[in-house]
Structure 1
Amino acid sequence: MKITKLLLAVLVVSLSLSFISCSKNESNGKARLQVYLTDDPGDYDEVLIDVQDILVNYTSNENEGWESLNNVKRGTYDVLKLVNDKDTMLADAEMPTGKIEQIRLILGPNNYVKVNGSTIKLETPSAQQSGLKLNIHQDVTGDIIYKLHLDFDVAKSIHQTGNGKFMLKPVIRTILEAAGGTIKGYIKPDSIQTAILAIQGPDTVASTFSLSGGYLIKGLNPGTYDLHFLPSDTTLAKQVKTGISVTIGKVTTVDTLKLK
């Protein structure tokens, strides 16, 4: 696709990539946390887990400072469908920069296991009804997307008692990692809205529009990119900045571009 045609398509591209691209004003220097649930297989037909909330603690106090994540997708999940590198997103929310100390996974009452065609309620010990605490203890940087994988170990999490009941004592391994890197910059004059395309080789990888001069493109794979700038004012020239290096977990700040 030629660059001259990209200006017509950039709005569609920007909307489809909105989860990795945003403006300077939208970011506010915050990080973004996406929580995914995955599973190690177990010897059951189904294991249904009722997820009701995810709390995050940015302090060292285990009893105070807990905050609910926004946009938690509450519902019942069959974790046995999330094996062999499959996962499902539980939350996608902004968070302050700093350090995540712990998260707490809050489960509802509708937890079941299906064995040999029979669906049996999973009993949860009273000590865990306030939520399962998981240690993270990792720093997060502003303008970076992070993925937190909750790896649910079914074989270790479900125990059958002598009277035939099934107990749920979740064993979950957490993995927090940066999802690519970020490019940010500024355009003058800031009154001219400009389309910015991040291009790698022949491919347009991501795109966005400037807002009040600022732009931000998140979630880029590591590598080198060329940025193409297409001003909405067609009397101004299109411009290109080449050799923009992106590193996982880092923000690459591009020198201010002056339209002319």
Structure 2
Amino acid sequence: MKITHYLPVAACIGALALSSCAADKTDATKLQVRMTDAPGDFQKVSLDVRQIEVHLKDEQDPNGWELLPFTPQALNILDYVNGRSALLVDTDFAPGDLKEIRLLLGPNSTVTTRDGVTYDLKTPSGQTSGVKLKLNKATLKERETFQLLLDFDVAKSIVQRGKWRPGDDKKERFILKPVIRVIAQDIAGGLRGTVTPTASLPQILAIRASITPADTFSTSADASGGYQLSSLPSGVYRVEFFPTTTAPANQPVYKNVVRTDITVTNNQITELGQTKLD
């Protein structure tokens, strides 16, 4: 299969790591893997994803592949455009270098054109040897969050056969030749602030709803009312504050508070100041 790579880049697609890949939680890194797409002139593009492997050793070592437990599924990648992404992995993973990713596609990928007709997507080698993506400087460090984004360019990836004409076999119209941009980054954004009254014992949720499924991160305020959420992906968040106890008699009732349009930037801590729950 012909694949276009953009370097230097790193990416991964998969699901929960095998126990052989996982580390003790005190030393593990948090690995997040997402898929996003550049828009194309189609109604639907369904990728039949069957199997994911990651290569952890030297490229020439045939024993370096690790199979990732991934539930086979069909992904309509056109659901994940304009900043939306599909969360495929959110798991603890052993620190170290990732060398290569292999994505095995099944025979049931399809494309639906604007007129509502669905065609098979032929994948010349994806069902056998798989789609391989080389990783450049993809190093997972202890107690950090590492995000790997597979950016699929559907407009360039679906090729129509030049000799195909209406009335020909529908299975022969389109070929899938993935054009993929792969991106990797350490996630080091965060939110910080205080909550009063401290007696409300609040829980804090930071929700990034622009992706699918939505990211939700949680913490609780300490005895002084302070809190910090670390390792947040950059984006716009809704932050929700929930008292976990009731106010004493003759005092204002504790209430839930929601703050919207909170921007998190990678490698920066966003200060939220004080939030009052009474």
TM class by smaller structure = 0.5 to 0.7
Given that 2:106 and 2:127 are in contact with CA atoms closer than 8 Å, whether structure 1 keeps it comes out as no
Question: Is residue 145 from structure 1 mapped to residue 145 from structure 2 by the alignment?
Answer: yes
- Which residue is equivalent to 1:56? 54
User: Could you list the runs of 5+ residues in structure 1 that have no partner in the other structure?
Assistant: 1-24, 183-197, 210-216, 223-246, 250-260
Q: 1:43, CA displacement in angstroms?
A: 1.2
Between Structure 1 and Structure 2, how many residues are aligned? 179
Which amino acid is 2:63 matched to? E
Q: Distance in 2 between matches of 1:221 and 1:47?
A: 27
Q: Distance in 2 between matches of 1:81 and 1:158?
A: 16
Which amino acid is 1:104 matched to? R
Question: Structure 1, residues 83-134: CA drift from partner, whole Å, max 9, x if none?
Answer: 1001111222332212111111221221000112110000010366321111
TM-score by length of 2: 0.56
The 3 A distance-change label for structure 1 pair 64 and 181 is farther
Question: Is residue 86 from structure 1 mapped to residue 94 from structure 2 by the alignment?
Answer: no
The 3 A distance-change label for structure 1 pair 92 and 73 is farther
Question: Is residue 168 from structure 1 mapped to residue 176 from structure 2 by the alignment?
Answer: yes
Q: 1:160, CA displacement in angstroms?
A: 0.7
Matched position secondary structure for 1:27: coil
- Which residue is equivalent to 2:14? none
More helix by share: 1
Q: Distance in 1 between matches of 2:127 and 2:153?
A: 16
Given that 1:59 and 1:65 are in contact with CA atoms closer than 8 Å, whether structure 2 keeps it comes out as yes
Matched position secondary structure for 2:63: coil
Question: Structure 1, residues 147-167: CA drift from partner, whole Å, max 9, x if none?
Answer: 111000111111111235200
- Which residue is equivalent to 1:180? 188
Given that 1:74 and 1:90 are in contact with CA atoms closer than 8 Å, whether structure 2 keeps it comes out as no
Matched position secondary structure for 1:80: helix
Q: Distance in 2 between matches of 1:122 and 1:140?
A: 34
Which amino acid is 1:177 matched to? Q
Q: Distance in 2 between matches of 1:181 and 1:73?
A: 30
Q: 1:73, CA displacement in angstroms?
A: 4.5
Matched position secondary structure for 1:64: helix
Identity %, equivalent residues: 35
- Which residue is equivalent to 1:214? none
Q: 1:173, CA displacement in angstroms?
A: 1.0
Given that 1:73 and 1:90 are in contact with CA atoms closer than 8 Å, whether structure 2 keeps it comes out as no
Given that 2:107 and 2:127 are in contact with CA atoms closer than 8 Å, whether structure 1 keeps it comes out as no
- Which residue is equivalent to 2:27? 29
List aligned pairs for 1:207-246, cutoff 5 A: 207=219, 219-220=231-232
- Which residue is equivalent to 1:228? none
Which amino acid is 1:129 matched to? T
- Which residue is equivalent to 1:69? 68
Equivalent residue in structure 2 for 1:200, among 193, 200, 205: 193
Question: Structure 1, residues 183-242: CA drift from partner, whole Å, max 9, x if none?
Answer: xxxxxxxxxxxxxxx952449564379xxxxxxx752579xxxxxxxxxxxxxxxxxxxx
